[in-house]
Every structure is written in structure tokens, then in C-alpha cells.
Amino acid sequence: MAGEVMDNRGRGEARSSLPSVHPEGRKYALICLGLSLIAALLAWETLAWPLAFLSLCILAFFRDPERVVPRGDALILSPADGTVTQISEVEPPLELRGEEGGLGHEPVTRISIYLSIFDVHINRSPCAGTVGTMSYVPGKFVNAELDKSSEENERQHIIIMRSDGVAVGMTQIAGLVARRIVPFVKPGDIVAAGQRVGLIRFGSRVDLYLPQGTSPQVLMGQRVIAGETVLGRLGETVELEGLQQ
């Protein structure tokens, strides 16, 4: 019907609804809920209620809302929900350089996004393309807000090769509480912009490496949304305040 407000998939009438929960989190919520019921049956109310509350917190942490992905071949989207904590010119990590199909050795702009435990932790592809190399690196679990976490923490590097041959790199970094990075894709998979590519459990950081000739479209301290916020535009070289050298 003309004038009808549709949902973000173009169906029916728009209405509010709770986001779905990713299967990775359902099992943990069910375990906590089961322990809560056992504690309740044993009349251990001081344990039953905290466990029931914890199960709700787990469901909230693993929530997986739908996103409206902006269209545009030149757009580089945010791979994570969170706060932009760093915008800096750096040499790409060794795992993302590659002789072919990598970022190369020249400095590129890195945008770091910090995810608190209250943010959605499903990570999404910053652009459409083919998953290139994926490199898992075991490491420490220092505070993900610190710059050294990019080199010392447990992390997973991913290259997305666009159809025009431009490589976009992202790194999932575990934090103080996060203890596992869970990938949803593998090398050779074809992904759409904004498609889910993995998650990091319980507080973390995601670094996005913009291709050369791309300027950041966000500022330090800005809140971003995975699959929706535009972090960069290919072919634009406008300098923004907040860039760290």
C-alpha cells in the first residue's frame, strides 16, 4: 500500500521487535538457566536468581540485530559496533601485507573500534568481495583499548578482496575478558557488504585497514554501527581532524 512504512527488509508494516540471539550464545544461556532451575529446586535462591539474571545477560550479549546496509561500491563500512578510539597511519601487520592480494608494505590508515561488553559483538564484512587470507595469532589478553593490543593480544586477521582488486583488511582482537574469536567464514568465501563474518566473546577491539587513497569518514570518539556506518570512501583523500601520526 502506498505510504506504508515497511520493515528493514521491505516486508509488511514496521514494528518493534526483539533482536535474535546468535546460536553461539544460546547454549551458554541454556546452561545458566538450567543451573538456575536446579538451584531453585534445591531451594538455593541466593544462587538461583543470579544465575537466572546471568542467562539474560548472555542472551543480551549475543544479540544479533538486523542491519540496513548502505549501498555504494566506494563505501567501506564499519566491521563492528563500538567507539572509534584510534585513527592512525601505520604499516599493515605482517599477516595482512601479502606479496599478492594483500595490503602491501606502505602505511595505511587504521581505524580502531573498541567494543565494550554492552555492544553487539557480531562482526561484519566492511565491503563485498572474496575472503582472502585468514591468519589466527595466539597471544595475550591485555586491555583492548591499548595500542599494544594490536600486536600482543590474541587476534585474527582477515583480507577481503574486492572485485576491482582492492584489498581491505580487518583484525579481530581479543580483550581482557574475551577469550575466543569465532569465525563464520573461510578463505575463498564470497561475502556481501555487511555480511556477518565472525564474533568475539565478551569485550574486544576490531581494527580496520583502509586501502591507500581512502580517507576516514569518522572522528575519534564517534559511535559506529557494524554494517551501517561508513568508515571510508574509496577515491577520497580529504584530511579529517583526529588523525594520529
Active-site annotation, residues = 204
The DSSP 8-state label assigned to residue 227 in this structure reads: T
Cα dist from 221 to 6, 88, 112, 113, 218, whole Å: 32, 14, 10, 9, 9
Q: Are strands 223-224 and 82-90 parallel, antiparallel or unpaired?
A: antiparallel
Instruction: Return left, alpha or beta for 131; rule: phi > 0 is left, psi -120 to 50 is alpha, else beta.
Output: beta
Q: What are the grid coordinates assigned to 110, written together?
A: 587504521
HEC string of 118-185 equals CCCCEEECCCCEEEEEEEEECCECCCCCCCCHHHHECEEEEEEECCCCCEEEEEEEECCCCCCEEECC
Half-sphere exposure of residue 151: CA atoms within 13 angstroms, side-chain side: 7
